């Protein structure tokens, strides 16, 4: 534990994000796990008064348990940096980069990580143009997703041309810039990455969906509804594929400059190398989330992982104050 006899810990959740409900689910589990280790534990809602609330509380460390923008995109991280409050998770730059799926892919491409073919379409150009551009460049077997959102909100797996219109309407209702990717058939796998104390991949998890969900993919309901997905540990991959998932996950973590923890998602085609999908700098920590399952499979108690993350952030406090 830290040198502080009883450090004051602020958990930050909620806010105006479309993923606020998931954030509150995550923070409930984090709070339950940490309250026995840190009695001076507080939950703050991400509201326009968050700076005032943090100033009044004067925490020794903050733990943003936020999913999607604002919060996972570097905004709260910037505020905490200004207020000289050490915090769990990646800093401003890594958070902002990872939230932008296109920028992430552009960076990782230079480092040899396999990626799906893609294009970006804009709401202002209209749905008809989005459909035409997609069919001309990628065809009808695509995944359509908002450029900077998580939890699969606004994401659609499209198999036929006549499904594109509805998929774009749903994605544009969430964000003005939409990423379109060629659909990669295969197993969906995920690797949680943890600094404990050095960067290490946790066991690779294969996500298995019920029959009725396989046409639509691993969406919001499958992620957060108990029984809607199965986490198979270790993932049923070849040794080569498994090792590449681990290596690519760590590489993505390091290239983006992430810190403390993250989760990296892949599609793994039969007899081919894994294809990177996205990285999450604040992975879900709900009862159905993947990182807690991966930690357990690695022999790490969830409480111990969270305490280690808080202690890492607390240890950064003196350097933050010295450099101010």
> CB-hemisphere CA count at 13 Å for 10?
22
Annotated catalytic residue within 87, 218, 224, 242: 224
pLDDT tens figures, 237-269: 999 999 999 999 999 999 999 999 999 999 999
As a residue count, the chain comes to 324
Annotated catalytic residue within 263, 293, 312, 317: 263
* Catalytic annotation present for 284: yes
d(CA 115, CA 84) in angstroms, rounded, equals 37
* Catalytic annotation present for 224: yes
Annotated catalytic residue within 265, 293, 312, 317: 265
Q: How many CB atoms lie under 10 A from the CB of residue 226?
A: 8
* Catalytic annotation present for 217: no
Its pTM stands at: 0.91
Lookup result for tokens 């806010």 = 15
Lookup result for tokens 């980069």 = 97
Instruction: Report the run of H or E that residue 166 belongs to, with start and end.
Output: helix 164-172
Instruction: Report the run of H or E that residue 97 belongs to, with start and end.
Output: helix 92-99
Beta bridge partners of 268: 187
* Catalytic annotation present for 19: yes
Do β-strands 9-13 and 41-45 pair in parallel, antiparallel, or remain unpaired?
parallel
Annotated catalytic residue within 71, 150, 284, 317: 284
pLDDT tens figures, 174-224: 999 999 999 999 999 999 999 988 999 999 999 998 755 445 454 455 454
Annotated catalytic residue within 19, 72, 188, 246: 19
Sheet strand arrangement including 177-182: 118-122, 177-182, 142-146, 156-158
d(CA 265, CA 288) in angstroms, rounded, equals 16
Strand, helix or coil for residue 27: helix
pLDDT tens figures, 122-169: 999 999 999 999 999 999 999 999 998 865 788 999 999 999 999 999
How far from each other are the two terminal CA atoms of the chain, in whole angstroms?
A: 25
d(CA 76, CA 11) in angstroms, rounded, equals 12
* Catalytic annotation present for 278: yes
* Catalytic annotation present for 222: no
Annotated catalytic residue within 90, 151, 192, 229: 151
């Amino acid at each position: 534990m830290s040198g502080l006899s009883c450090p004051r810990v602020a958990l930050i959740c909620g806010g105006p994000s479309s993923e606020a409900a998931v954030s509150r689910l995550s923070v409930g589990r984090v709070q339950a796990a940490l309250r026995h280790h840190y009695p001076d534990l507080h939950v703050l809602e991400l509201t326009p008064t968050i700076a005032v609330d943090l100033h009044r509380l004067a925490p020794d460390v903050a733990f943003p348990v936020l999913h999607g923008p604002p919060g996972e995109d570097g905004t709260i991280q910037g505020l905490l940096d200004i207020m000289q409050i050490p915090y769990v998770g990646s800093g401003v730059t890594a958070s902002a980069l990872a939230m932008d799926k296109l920028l992430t892919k552009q960076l990782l491409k230079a480092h040899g990580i396999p990626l799906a073919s893609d294009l970006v379409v804009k709401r202002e150009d209209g749905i008809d143009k989005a459909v035409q551009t997609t069919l001309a460049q990628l065809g009808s077997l695509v995944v359509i997703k908002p450029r900077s959102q998580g939890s699969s909100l606004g994401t659609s797996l499209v198999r036929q041309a006549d499904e594109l219109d509805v998929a774009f309407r749903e994605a544009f209702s969430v964000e003005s810039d939409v990423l379109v990717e060629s659909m990669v058939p295969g197993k969906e796998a995920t690797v949680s990455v943890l600094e404990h104390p050095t960067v290490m991949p946790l066991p690779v998890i294969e996500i298995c969906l019920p029959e009725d969900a396989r046409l639509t993919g691993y969406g919001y309901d499958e992620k957060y509804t108990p029984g809607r997905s199965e986490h198979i540990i270790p993932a049923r991959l070849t040794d080569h594929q498994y090792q590449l998932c681990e290596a690519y996950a760590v590489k993505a973590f390091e290239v983006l400059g992430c810190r403390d923890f993250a989760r990296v998602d892949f599609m793994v085609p039969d007899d081919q190398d894994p294809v990177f999908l996205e990285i999450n700098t604040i992975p879900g920590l709900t009862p159905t989330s993947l990182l807690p399952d991966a930690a357990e499979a690695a022999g790490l108690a969830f409480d111990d992982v969270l305490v280690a993350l808080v202690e890492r952030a607390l240890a950064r406090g003196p350097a933050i104050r010295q450099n101010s």
